[in-house]
Structure 1
Amino acid sequence: MPFTRRKFMASGASITAGAALGLAPFRTHAEITLGDIRLDVVSDGTLTLPSSATFGGLPQDQLAPIRTKYGLTGDVITPPCNITLMRRADRTILFDVGAGSDFMASTGQLLTSLDALAVAPEDVTDIVFTHAHPDHLWGVLDDFDDPLFPNAAYMIGQVEWDYWMNPNTVDEIGAERASFAVGAQRRLAMLEDQISFINDGEEIISGVAAHATFGHTPGHMSFEIKDGSNSVMVLGDCIGNHHVAFEQPAWIAGSDQDGEQGVKTRLALLDKLASEKTQIIGFHLAGGGMGYVDKTASGYAFVAGE
């Protein structure tokens, strides 16, 4: 099923091979039209991480040719942060809000990206969270700790909310992620009067259904946006990159809080997406984040949209 409409825009130089590795500038964005639904993928910038954050603990002999194939042989990786903007009639919906200015210097570009599409924070009517990790949630507050999107209603998975708001989580999540729990609790508490909770299979907005994709976090959700027989799946981080997660989906990812559950979710979802040829938008996938899943002889492959 081809994209109804797909557009790339770049400021200055044309998109080069760097874009294929997820290194395109944040001003690049991609667009799909599904009936009267318009989807734009805008950028919050990129993460800047040691390669061990993704590749640590994996079988290095089998990993080496994958890293070479995708040009990821250095000590640092810079996965993109792709945020889905949905517009339909009088609704303007964001799926996640990026990291804001508090997480790392290479993120926090969402408002600039939205401004390029003439979308102001006041225009956003709904914010839907896939999960509460910093690069998806922390951008919800401005520099004065006020909600950045003053007219928005918020939605998050019930399981995800319960996990992050549990006072024991900060002590149980592990030292490396303790700041994630503190940051999530503070921001979610600010939204408590404006947030509603999602469960698996619910239609949360007309044409948008929630799907439980647990593992990356305990209550991670993905969202299927549908018009007639055409659909797009907003993945969040349940398929966390365009290389190892596709080529070796049975490998436990260090970024998943429950690695074994993450594998089960990933394998089932990749099989379904490949067989149904569903369009996908991945938060950390390359080339604007949009594409398809192809089944290969040994695993799967991410095919960026045409």
Structure 2
Amino acid sequence: MTFSRRTLLKTLGVGTASLALPTLSTMAQAAPAGPAPVLHQFGLGDATITALLDGHLPVPATMFTGYDAARAQETLEGSFYREGAQGLEIPVNGYLVERGGKYTLVDTGTAQLMGPDLGGLMAALAATGVGAGDISTILLTHMHPDHAGGLLAADGSAAFPNAELVVAETEWDFWYDDAIMASVDEGSRGFFQMARDAVAPYADRKKPFTGEVEVAPGFTAMPLPGHTPGHSGFMLDAGDEQLLIWGDVVHSTALQFANPDWTIPFDTDQPLAAQTRKAMFDRAAADQLLVTGMHLDFPGLGRVVRDGAAYAFHQAPWQFGL
């Protein structure tokens, strides 16, 4: 494991003096209200999709493995991206998909586990008029806290009482492997416990999958290993149109299209994460896929294009699909 509690807290601008990471349920009960709801709704084929913003997280450019100051300056030059005192702001997104009166949620945000600038996904969901009890399926790209944290209500129960939880079997098995958990440093073990806490209320209604298979009507899983062992994207087939929701293939829109080899410490296998990213960039560019992701600039819709030896992201207009 390459990530650690110290790395996470440094990223968040929090001191490292605390002795232990609390459980998700404990943190949720103590958390203040999150940001105001931000959402963007659009139509795609026979689906209505709503991008839900959980908030923003500062990530220093120097955190990226492969970082080069001159190359970073060249990449950012002429753009609207600015690195603040704590880093480049990256969003945390989730996506609500409605098809035929059924509601599917892809990732659940942080549940206010990672500071006051995050935790807005549930408020954004409520602003759509869709209740947590209306969600029938949750597609989980992976079990990091900014994706799985919102699975829990403040009292530790399931925040989505009627939802089936769809997650890669490899992902579930990794976080539940006691031998792996015992082998990492003590601080990193908190990530394992948080992952287990988040999914525990759904153990009797989880739907594991393996490989590139249909996991829900209109959704095909896309294994995208590297960030975590079972990290997955989901291809939505909305009749005559498709959308690839690729999870954490990209963490920084500002840096990683131009520098696809740059990885982040939270990638459990950094070389594989870079390999997966470049393969998906190639596929998305060749097939002119509409893509979105959990850390692409909100609302995250666009297409990948080649830019010399690298790539670029062409963001869709805000009113896309309306």
Place the TM-score, normalised by the shorter chain, in its bin. 0.7 to 0.9
Q: Which has the higher contact order (CA 8 A, sep 6+)?
A: 2
Distance 1:180 1:35 in 2: 38
Q: Is the 8 A contact 2:75 2:255 kept in 1?
A: yes
Aligned twin of 2:7: none
Aligned partner of residue 87 in structure 1, secondary structure: strand
User: Normalising by the residue count of structure 2, what TM-score does the alignment of the two structures yield?
Assistant: 0.82
Alpha-carbon offset, residue 221 of structure 1:
0.5
**1:265 pairs with 2:276:** yes
1:240 maps onto 2:251 in alignment: yes
Q: Distance in 2 between matches of 1:176 and 1:223?
A: 31
For 1:169, which of 171, 180, 183 is the aligned residue?
Answer: 180
- Kindly tell me: are residues 52 and 177 of structure 1, through their superposed partners in 2, closer, same or farther at Cα, counting changes over 3 Å? farther
SS at match of 2:256: helix
- Backbone CA RMSD of aligned residues: 1.9
Q: Given residue 305 of structure 2, which amino acid in structure 1 is its aligned partner?
A: D
Within a 5 Å distance, the mapping from 1:55-74 to structure 2 comes to 55=64, 58-68=67-77, 69-74=79-84
Q: What is the TM-score when the length of structure 1 is the normalising length?
A: 0.86
Q: 1:123 aligns with which of 124, 134, 146?
A: 134
Q: How far does residue 89 in structure 1 lie from its aligned partner after superposition?
A: 1.5
Alignment of 1:1-306 (within 5 A): 27-53=37-63, 55=64, 58-68=67-77, 69-76=79-86, 77-174=88-185, 177-306=188-317
- More divergent stretch after superposition (177-186 vs 210-219): 177-186
Partner of 2:207: helix, strand, or coil? strand
**Residue 115 (structure 1) shift:** 1.6
Structure 1, unmatched stretches of 5+, are 1-24
**Aligned letter for 2:148?**
L
Q: How has the CA–CA distance of structure 1 residues 287 and 100 changed in structure 2, closer, same or farther, with 3 Å as cutoff?
A: closer
CA distance in 1, matches of 2:82, 2:190: 28
- Give the 3-state SS of the residue equivalent to 2:305 in structure 1: strand
C-alpha displacement at 1:261, in angstroms? 0.4
* Structure 1 Cα separation of the partners of residues 307 and 153 of structure 2: 44
Aligned length: 281
| Matched residue SS, 1:47 | strand
Cα shift at 1:175: 5.1
Q: How far apart, CA to CA, are the structure 2 residues paired with 1:49 and 1:250? A: 17
Where does structure 2 lack aligned partners over 5 or more consecutive residues?
1-34, 318-322
8 Å CA contact retained: 2:45, 2:240: no
Question: C-alpha offsets along residues 8-38 of structure 1, whole Å, 9 cap, x if unaligned?
Answer: xxxxxxxxxxxxxxxxx86443333223211
Q: SS of the residue aligned with 2:51? A: strand
